[in-house]
């Protein structure tokens, strides 16, 4: 197995990490975990649902690129009012992302920020969601 990729571009250590089979049947587990973590950060119901949809779209982007032995990995960094989610798979030769795809358009509409790239042999989609009704604590 390859070394886990950092959750954020600056290499921040994830607060939560989950590894699942790289199979669409397990995306619901990742979406449910995401919703639970967002609820802990006091996200609104609407923000939680947007985040669940965005994570599903991120998975739709990376899963087709997964090699046969890959895991679907979710990494979460939790800060007051902000949840950063990275979804990745091992993909030694991934196709460049299609920024005109439906999945990318949905992802960038719902998330506060979204990026896609390679970290080692991992294809990783990272999204940042900022809660709309939560003021960051000092």
Q: What integer pLDDT is reported at residue 118 of this predicted model?
A: 84
Q: What is 16-130's CATH number, 3.30.590.20, 3.40.50.300, 3.30.230.10, 3.30.565.10?
A: 3.30.565.10
Q: Spell out the domain ranges in the chain.
A: 16-130
Q: What integer pLDDT is reported at residue 134 of this predicted model?
A: 47
Q: What integer pLDDT is reported at residue 132 of this predicted model?
A: 80
Mean pLDDT of 113-124: 88
The answer to whether 16 touches 67, Cβ cutoff 8 Å, is no
Predicted confidence band at 23 (pLDDT cuts at 50, 70, 90)?
A: very high
Phi-psi region of 33 (alpha: psi -120 to 50; beta: other; left: phi over 0): alpha
- Helix residue ranges, H only, 44-111: 45-62, 102-110
Mean pLDDT of 39-51: 94
Strands lying side by side in the sheet with 113-119:
16-21, 71-79, 82-90, 122-130, 113-119
């Amino acid at each position: 197995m390859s070394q886990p990729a950092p959750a954020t571009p600056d290499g921040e250590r994830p607060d939560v990490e989950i590894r699942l089979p790289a199979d669409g049947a397990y995306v619901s587990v990742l979406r449910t975990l995401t919703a639970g973590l967002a609820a802990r950060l006091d996200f609104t119901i609407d923000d939680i649902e947007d985040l669940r949809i965005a994570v599903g779209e991120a998975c739709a982007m990376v899963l087709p690129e997964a090699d046969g032995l890959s895991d679907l990995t979710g990494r979460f960094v939790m800060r007051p009012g902000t949840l950063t989610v990275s979804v990745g798979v091992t993909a030694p030769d991934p196709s460049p992302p299609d920024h005109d795809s439906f999945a990318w358009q949905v992802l960038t509409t719902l998330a506060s920020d979204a990026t896609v790239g390679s970290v080692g042999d991992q294809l990783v989609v990272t999204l940042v969601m900022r809660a709309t009704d939560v003021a960051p604590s000092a």
